Amino acid sequence: MTQDIVILAAGKGSRMKSAFSKVLHKVGGIAMVRRVLTTASTLENANLHLVVGHQGEQVEANCQDFSANIVWQNDPQGTGDALRRVAPFLQADGATLTLYGDVPLIRASTLQKMTALSNSNTLVLLTISLDNPTGYGRIVRDEQGKVTAIVEQKDASASELAIKEVNTGILLAPNAHLQAWLAALKNNNAQGEYYLTDVIAMAARDGVDIVTVNPENEAEVAGVNDRVQLAALERELQNQQAIRLMQNGATLLDPSRIDVRGELVTGNDVIIDVNCVFEGKVTLGAGVEIGPNCHLKNCTVGDNTIIKSNTLIEDSQVGESCDIGPFARLRPGTQLANKAKIGNFVETKKAIIGEGSKVNHLSYIGDTEMGANVNVGAGTITCNYDGVNKHKTQVADNVFIGSNSSLVAPVQIEEGATIAAGSTITKQVGEKQLAFARARQTNKDNWPRPTKK
């Protein structure tokens, strides 16, 4: 059966006190509405409809890669009103699944359980039992246990308020019936809104089977109305991801102090120390060790590499058995071959570092192609920028560069060459040549030191 999936994202979210649409606030580094769209996209035969209103242009721009049908709800009058705006786009022989842009942790497995029960005469409702159901619509059942209605908190009687089973708002309804139910909705309630939940009573009246499915946990159906709830879901997601990483063979020295803001893939026997942040897509090979306070973004790290504390790696590729840090920064475009070493307070950018090469301390290597077994002394920099354009430095295999050297690009250092410490290199150095490029030392006797005025 074709699935129309409607994601409601038109609310103002005034309690967020933000210049941005509520559904664009991030959980795990990804906008809430994008998380919902990603999960919905995993369902077969899915037609996505995104209902926007307040700051809808922001939401549409951030979600355009999903190719969802954008439906505007400029004057929101409830969830039923939102579905009525989508009604002209629904497939006649399909079913409609309603989701929420501020309920980001809903799982594909739960939605698949719902769709498995769907047919032309069945409405599937996602419910959960809560110890404290305050604020939720209550699930009303008859003597046989069949669902007959959903009553909102403000409209519930004392006996109905005592019901623990509540509505999550997520339901899957057959379109052949849904169209008529939406047209029949009334707003004669405490809020003066059109409630989508009113279709439950209509379904019971029309003899449509109403079946319920439960989520795996409460967090899966928790919504976000303010930043406190946003922070709670962030911690829940991070806990879920920490558990997954450990189940996949990674050791987290403190599972409560790791942040995965994207996707982290780990091989066996990875060790991650405290306060590490992973953004975008990060892949760690087997046996990788990461020290405390590291930040990795959109990078791959080969097997058995050690990344020491306070290291930043972004948009880079790191080979096997490398040694990086502490306090190193690999900027976008860095590629380290196997067994390369980047030491403390070294920065690289668009740098290809060959196998076994070492940049040990206090250096900047940018726009550089470096061969194998190169040794770069402390304080060396590649002068790659002339104020207008960037230029490349090329260093061949087995080059030794003395401390405090400046390589003024464009320049080429050929195989086996040696650069004397303190040199400023402005032209090519040939194979196995020794290059001195510094002024001759002059000593003056009886030099009067400056005195403080």
Structure tokens at 369: 């192609």
180 annotated ligand-binding residue: no
State the Cα–Cα distance between residues 359 and 48, nearest whole angstrom: 51
Packing angle between helix 79-86 and helix 175-183, nearest 10 degrees? Answer: 120
Helical spans, DSSP H, in 156-196:
158-161, 175-183
State the Cα–Cα distance between residues 14 and 395, nearest whole angstrom: 57
152 annotated ligand-binding residue: yes
267 annotated ligand-binding residue: no
Q: What is the 3-state secondary structure (H, E, C) of 74-119?
A: CCCCCHHHHHHHHHHHCCCCCEEEEEECCCCCCCHHHHHHHHHCCE
Judge whether 215 and 129 are in contact, CB under 8 Å.
no
Write the CA distances from 394 to 44, 118, 319, 384, 427, integer angstroms. 51, 63, 20, 11, 11
422 annotated ligand-binding residue: no
364 annotated ligand-binding residue: yes
127 annotated ligand-binding residue: no
132 annotated ligand-binding residue: no
195 annotated ligand-binding residue: no
366 annotated ligand-binding residue: no
316 annotated ligand-binding residue: no
State the Cα–Cα distance between residues 263 and 272, nearest whole angstrom: 15
State the sign of the Cα–Cα–Cα–Cα dihedral 73, 76, 82, 87.
negative
Q: Which of 25, 295, 361, 391 is catalytic?
A: 361
Judge whether 354 and 337 are in contact, CB under 8 Å.
yes
138 annotated ligand-binding residue: no
> Which CB contacts under 8 angstroms, 24+ apart, belong to 363-370?
365/393, 366/331, 366/390, 367/391, 367/392, 367/393, 367/409, 368/392, 368/393, 368/394, 368/395, 369/393, 369/394, 369/395, 370/395, 370/399
Burial zone of 19 (CB within 10 Å; 0-12 exposed, 13-18 middle, 19+ buried): exposed
164 annotated ligand-binding residue: no
412 annotated ligand-binding residue: no
State the Cα–Cα distance between residues 345 and 329, nearest whole angstrom: 7
The question of whether 361 is a catalytic residue gets the answer yes
331 annotated ligand-binding residue: yes
238 annotated ligand-binding residue: no
Structural Rg of the chain based on CA atoms = 31
340 annotated ligand-binding residue: no
194 annotated ligand-binding residue: no
444 annotated ligand-binding residue: no
355 annotated ligand-binding residue: no
291 annotated ligand-binding residue: no
Judge whether 348 and 359 are in contact, CB under 8 Å.
yes
- Annotated binding-site members: 8-11, 22, 73, 78-79, 100-102, 137, 152, 167, 225, 331, 349, 364, 375, 378, 384-385, 403, 421, 438
- Annotated binding-site members for acetyl-CoA: 378, 384-385, 403, 421, 438
- Annotated binding-site members for UDP-N-acetyl-alpha-D-glucosamine: 8-11, 22, 73, 78-79, 100-102, 137, 152, 167, 225, 331, 349, 364, 375
- Annotated binding-site members for Mg(2+): 102, 225
> Which of the residues are catalytic?
361
